[in-house]
Chains A and B, each alone.
Chain A
Amino acid sequence: MDDIDAMFSDLLGEMDLLTQSLGQETVPPAPLPSTKEEANFSIGFTDLNASLHELEDNDLDALMADLVADLNATEEKLAAEIEGLKVPTPPPSELPLPPPPNDLITPPASSLISPTSPASTSSNVSTPSPSTTSPLPPPQSKKPTKEEIEAQMKADKIKLALEKLKEAKVKKLVVKVLMNDGSSKTLMVDERQNVREVLDNMFEKTHCDCNVDWSLCETNPELQLERTFEDHENLVEPLLAWTRDSENKILFQERGEKHEVFKNPQNFYLWKKDKKTLKDIKDKDKELLIQENFCGTSIIVPDLEGVLYLKEDGKKSWKQRLFQLRASGIYYVPKGKTKSSRDLVCFIQFDNVNVYYGKDFKSKYKAPTDFCFVLKHPQIQKESQYIKYLCCDDAWSMNLWVTGIRIAKYGVSLYENFKTAEKKAAVSAVWTNRSTPSSSNPSTPSPTIKAKSPSQANGHAPKPQPGPVPQDFPPPPPPPPLGEILPPPPPDPILPPPMPPLAAKSALKPAGPQKHLPTNFPPPPLAMDNLPPPPPPPPIDDASEAPPDFLPPPPPAAGFGSLPPPPPSMVNSLPPSPASFGGMGLPPPPPDPVSLPPPPPSQPVFTGAGAPPPPPPPPPPPAAPAAVPRVAVRPAGSLKKVPPAPPKRTTPPLHGGGGGGGGGDFMSELMLAMKKKSSDH
């Protein structure tokens, strides 16, 4: 008995660790059917009923699908875990939870009503009623011993308690996201979800090209501000700061400036050079700049200094001051003092403020130009003396400052976000190229513990701890091959040995998934069994530090000089990738590679794949994922699925409701609304 107890605590510990480390893969606990009444849904809307009634049918369907999928996934997970508990002591390195066989066969109910099929009828929705899919007792081949039963009961209890503990605190919001074409999407956002996950969710709902520029933006019409959320931020928290009567909106847009610093680092780190030099800079020099400023022990903030206009507290006038950006904050040079560091006066530090773009400040605040940015505490929603308004001469310098401040505030997270976004874009490029975008799973909120960066001292950019830095793809290229560009010193004319040939390293970066992280999700679906399995993890260091998700490495990023050309096998079937970051997403779709098989037959094949959040890398052909250059982000026209027609309704945004107030039992309200709707029909 003691042994079993010990085993449980081991297992629990491991599961918990996994939940933390593999945030993206775990399906969060959703309210269990039995405890639904107690589940504390904290909705950011007071008039829940009103908002529910306002919903379009398809919104409601999609929302319902999200919720049901949530439930279902949790149940499956629970069942899987219970099953797993019976396995004899597992090897510690992997999660010993083979899913019960029935999971493989039964596609999650969510697939029936995946949000990608907004046309699904309400009858579909009601089919997988939560109560009917209560956790199945795992199939048992032999009679469990008494101890096993006891153990299982105990495990159940522990699990239940843990889930309840977590669930009790989780806030969820129904969020309406406005699209560029004026339409909108409604989705459920869990407080543990970060913006990246919400974006992924949006990608699935919109069938956009998933390029790195897609962003969620927050607008504040009252203050005429807007801000792009960073991908690692949690979405719910800033939304809770909105006031009841807020007219703020969330937009889903392509924002080039979000990752511009990684596409053209020279514009930020060498901004003093003349424009032509900056334009002609070589890719390998860009790479070197990123390396120097984002991959060292410390994140380096662009060296910015310049005269900006400052709106004086509570006054209408704008005054010029010489400002300087440092990692620790923005400083200005007081009158009659030198620019020496010790004389600088601190204007603001970044711990408690966000940076926003100001819109049309010339007319609103009589600003000298319209190129304004603002620093304020995220909770401030109305005009206040605590908001700092700054104005630049031109858009160029405004972007320099805003980006510089973001680097100082968020540090290495920005670079990690970019790498993740690139990976995502690459995967979807492959995906869309091959098949109609299919829903993998509608809603996969997951605990994102890592999203919260540790508290920072005075706004100094956080740095990854040297040890556990995820060595994400692209792998940090070897240090700049200075030896190659630089001449040997006199008098000895022998060159330093060239860097390990870049190609050597890159050749080791094959397509296919990284090492599969242990998970309790079913392996690739049975339907795909006839397909070649994804290639095994490459035997390189990086494999041991697999990124915490299933995404295959990004395709050769056009802008990185050091990244490999597509593997030879693919070269002939693909157009060469243009060597510029700017071209992302813009070039015409490359012809569908001839070597690729026809798009997978039908959606169920994919939905049947179970609910692992990021789609597993497509099996055929083995080399495809990494080989397809990123330019292929747009699907070939013939294959692209027509996005659903935008809803005609133009009701005010859903999130008009105030923040924080508990909205009663959301589930039952939703059910009521559903019922009402079906009876109306």
Chain B
Amino acid sequence: MALAFDEFGRPFIILREQDQKTRLRGIDAQKANIAAGKAVARILRSSLGPKGMDKMLQGPDGDVTITNDGATILEQMDVDNQIAKLMVELSRSQDYEIGDGTTGVVVMAGALLEQAERQLDRGIHPIRIAEGYEMASRVAVEHLERISQKFEFDVNNYEPLVQTCMTTLSSKIVNRCKRRLAEIAVKAVLAVADLERRDVNLDLIKVEGKVGGNLEDTELIYGILVDKDMSHPQMPKQIEDAHIAILTCPFEPPKPKTKHKVDIDTVQKFETLRKQEQQYFDEMVQKCKDVGATLVICQWGFDDEANHLLMHRNLPAVRWVGGVELELIAIATGGRIVPRFQELTPEKLGKAGMVREKSFGTTKERMLYIEHCANSKAVTIFIRGGNKMMIEETKRSIHDALCVARNLIRNKSIVYGGGAAEIACSLAVDAAADKYPGVEQYAIRAFAEALDSVPMALAENSGLQPIETLSAVKSQQLKENIPFYGIDCNDVGTNDMREQNVFETLIGKQQQILLATQVVKMILKIDDVISNSEY
């Protein structure tokens, strides 16, 4: 489609390869963009809430993912449309920042777009709508702040944290043992948290999974789990009070980095070289022994000769341990990573109360537990489950729970879930709308209506009558002026979310509203799409 015509209808060629470009402008562009955004939201809508369904996604290589996590679904969908991509990024951004509520934010944005479409049909300028949304989002965020409650907890009393994590986990496939998983997540976060600085480095929590066993067998290890076994089958399987040498150099004769060549022209020279090599091995093992190491963890491999020697000298060893794990082991055991045998000193050894090898089921797979470490600032969550997909999904769910716990440590405030917060905001925004003169008022009301869509989707997914349920809860909230009433998804018999213990973090909810508004504004502001026609 050409960009411009002269008086005689002949097109100017202004742009390169103009014929191949398409241009969509004005209200058509907005409508098309809104449709694309809504389509994405529609896909995720059924995944919301405790009764939400999972999606099965097949990757290009035939690998299958089953998940309920919004960010993961969108990531795997491989969206091509630009506006849809914005929605994907929206969800990813919620994932980065908060880690939870990735489905909710997309559903919210979809609802806002749907409402915007109606306002556009009324002839309201798209930017006025966007501005109205922004005003409304500010009102909503303030209101959330008002209805939020502070949770008091400390290292010993972490029950409130567990409750909040359980809310997150209840929408996942793992909800049958949500209590256990929530406890694990909270304990893990508390173990690595820097409560003074309110900072949690999630890198220090390792999440491992192995197929087999039950979900109930999932455990938290105050220490490190390494998917490796002892380098020699006859080495001891259990070491108490281990002193660990953490090495990044291989058990082999050192090699200069500069290109080198050893000229060997006589048998004697060969003999000396051979002897020297053996001596190297001997010295290395001796060095480790001398400093008092009872276990060697090595980043590199060592050949059979070294292995034999280690076995012979009764020094258990683990080889081919990855860099990240090595680092975690070092942190956990309070040891130092040693790059050279000459640098080994007793102070640099890591200490662990118990190192044991454990085999699983009937399989030959074994893993190494390093427990009772000197410094328990690194922990591992070890997930068991029936199949690989289950473990992957559990990992994602645990990640969400970890993020929730971290957010609570950062900011103690919570709001009530089950759509209660959205309904309360909707009421507040609706009430505030009348105070704004000008066209924005309509947009603000539309925003209030869009907020209703989250509890509506919750009710829908739970098999309740969406409109009936929503209006009942809404009137209840308004009548008693209590913002705790939400959708009773689990059919417990009460709408009071305090009794049901359904909590969400305040910053998570605020972020959802702000992010959704931001992206919707961006979409509404586009009135011209110029693209190559193949798109």
User: Real complex partners, A and B?
Assistant: no
